[in-house]
């Protein structure tokens, strides 16, 4: 097997690595280093180590951690790091040097003879590694993860005499960010302890994206096509928007505001034939839109099953299903076209459930931030017993979202205790 330098950059990496042609079973040997294992090698002070690329360490115990391989033109590229055993994760710069002294006064390994069981003499201008017989050790805990290489039998690997510098560290990672989502705070009905707990969590967790999934106001006076029976509208709007403004005050938080079915009353009644109701609804709607503009937060209009915003492979929406299997049914209905997770509110009942499909869609409900007995119009429903305070948070990248759901126990709610979200 021969080693040669790549002819062009791969994945934005300069061609300073070495290419190795591998056999059909995806295993190859580079000098004395065999690809395909899950171990690292630990060498003593007296060892002369020559990994691919001619990097040699002879000034103390070193751990050579091979961390990745990337397919390239029928072979693969090796990405590896060097660690000082006595310095934990401290990286040790590679030090190039020559091979073992030969009897003929030249650098490199001695020429092979016809009696050498490993084969014929080295090709001119090439040299072999010298790692046979070294002990192989499992990577200690806390050092960079499993290694895809292990020591193996000598296979006569070769390297060019003229070496190029090898990058010391190459990391291929996903750009993970944090998110958090709540819903159904219902203006003046929000539980003060839940409100403070969410604000404290946002301060400490510092999510990059925060979603309020709708019903940040209650607008009970607009029920029944604006019948006017309910709590005053001005404090309702003010309390709902003040909560959003207080959340936005932390760091450079990117906020997305979803309208829920309660805010949708304003858009519907703004077209009322009753001019008093229509004008009042338009003014309140303008107030919400201006606040969203001041917070630089997109305002997602509630359109039932057609509303929502994407984050990774998740769809965040207020929700439109309110039966006992809402999490499961939301997953089965909303998870399509690349959506694997749907996060909603609406039912006030926090939970997570998998859809009944082979692609395992996941539905998450963030519950409410109110207390179960705070809204009179829901006190005659058995479903109200399933209400709970919760928040969904986690990490996301361009094509994936990993949700975690925290639900505040009822005993702590009734004891007026703050949320106990794990750090």
- Per-residue model confidence as pLDDT tens digits over 342-352: 999 999 999 99
User: From the centroid of its chain, how far is CA 421?
Assistant: 19
Q: Average per-residue pLDDT in the chain?
A: 74
Distances (CA, A) of 188 to 132, 191, 216, 380: 74, 8, 9, 21
Q: What is the pLDDT of residue 168?
A: 56
Q: What is the pLDDT of residue 261?
A: 96
Q: What is the pLDDT of residue 254?
A: 95
Q: Would you say 239 and 187 are in contact if contact means Cβ atoms under 8 Å apart?
A: yes
Average pLDDT over residues 312-332: 96
How many CA atoms does the CB half-sphere of 215 hold within 13 Å?
A: 25
Is the pLDDT confidence value at 163 over 50? Answer: yes
Residue of higher predicted confidence among 99 and 199: 199
Is the pLDDT confidence value at 114 over 50? Answer: yes
- Structure tokens, 273: 């034939």
Is the pLDDT confidence value at 337 over 50? Answer: yes
Element (H, E) at 396: strand 390-396
- Structure tokens, 21: 């042609």
Average pLDDT over residues 24-50: 36
Q: What is the pLDDT of residue 364?
A: 98
Give the percent of the chain with pLDDT over 90.
51
Q: Residue 370 carries which DSSP code?
A: B
Q: What is the pLDDT of residue 166?
A: 57
Average pLDDT over residues 183-201: 96
Residue of higher predicted confidence among 183 and 42: 183
Q: What is the pLDDT of residue 107?
A: 53
Is the pLDDT confidence value at 177 over 60? Answer: yes
pLDDT band of 305, cuts 50, 70, 90? very high
Q: Would you say 184 and 259 are in contact if contact means Cβ atoms under 8 Å apart?
A: no
pLDDT band of 335, cuts 50, 70, 90? very high
pLDDT band of 173, cuts 50, 70, 90? low
Is the pLDDT confidence value at 274 over 70? Answer: yes
Round to whole Å and give the CA distance between 148 and 26.
12
Question: Can you give the C-alpha Rg of the chain in angstroms?
Answer: 32
Average pLDDT over residues 215-229: 90
- The partner residues of 154 in beta bridges, in order of sequence, read none
Is the pLDDT confidence value at 158 over 60? Answer: no
Element (H, E) at 210: strand 209-212
pLDDT band of 178, cuts 50, 70, 90? very high
Q: What is the pLDDT of residue 268?
A: 95
């Amino acid at each position: 097997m021969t080693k040669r330098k790549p002819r062009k950059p791969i994945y934005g990496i300069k061609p300073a690595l070495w290419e190795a042609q591998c056999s059909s079973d995806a295993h190859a040997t580079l000098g004395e280093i065999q690809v395909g294992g899950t171990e690292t090698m630990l060498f003593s002070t007296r060892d002369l180590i020559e990994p691919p690329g001619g990097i040699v360490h002879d000034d103390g115990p070193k751990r050579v951690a091979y961390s990745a391989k990337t397919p390239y033109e029928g072979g693969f590229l090796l990405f590896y790091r060097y660690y000082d055993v006595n310095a934990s994760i401290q990286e040790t710069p590679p030090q190039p040097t020559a091979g073992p002294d030969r009897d003929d006064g030249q650098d490199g390994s001695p020429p092979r003879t016809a009696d050498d069981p490993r084969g014929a003499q080295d090709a001119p201008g090439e040299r072999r590694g010298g790692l046979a017989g070294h002990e192989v050790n499992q990577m200690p805990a806390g050092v960079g993860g499993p290694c895809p290489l292990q020591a193996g039998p000598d296979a006569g690997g070769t390297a060019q005499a003229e070496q190029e510098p090898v990058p010391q560290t190459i990391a291929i990672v996903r750009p993970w960010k944090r998110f958090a989502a709540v819903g159904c705070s219902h203006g003046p009905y929000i539980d003060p302890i839940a409100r403070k707990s969410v604000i404290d969590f946002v301060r400490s967790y510092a999510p990059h994206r925060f979603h309020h999934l709708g019903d940040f106001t209650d607008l009970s006076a607009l029920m029944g096509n604006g019948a006017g029976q309910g709590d005053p509208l001005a404090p309702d709007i003010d309390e709902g928007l003040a909560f959003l403004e207080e959340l936005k005050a932390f760091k450079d938080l990117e906020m997305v505001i979803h309208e829920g079915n309660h805010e949708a009353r304003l858009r519907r009644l703004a077209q009322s034939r009753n001019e008093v109701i229509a004008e009042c609804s338009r003014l309140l709607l303008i107030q919400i839109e201006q606040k969203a503009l001041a917070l630089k937060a997109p305002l997602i209009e509630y359109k039932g099953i057609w509303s929502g915003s994407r984050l990774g492979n998740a769809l965040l929406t207020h929700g439109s299903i309110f039966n006992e299997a809402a999490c499961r049914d939301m997953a089965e209905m909303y998870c399509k076209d690349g959506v694997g997770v749907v996060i909603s509110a609406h039912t006030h009942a926090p939970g997570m459930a998998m859809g009944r499909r082979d692609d395992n869609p996941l539905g998450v409900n963030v519950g409410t931030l109110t207390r179960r007995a705070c809204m009179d119009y829901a006190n005659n429903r058995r479903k109200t017993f399933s209400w709970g305070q919760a928040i969904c948070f986690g990490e996301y990248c361009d094509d994936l979202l990993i949700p975690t759901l925290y639900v505040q126990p009822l005993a702590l709610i009734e004891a007026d205790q703050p949320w106990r979200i794990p750090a």
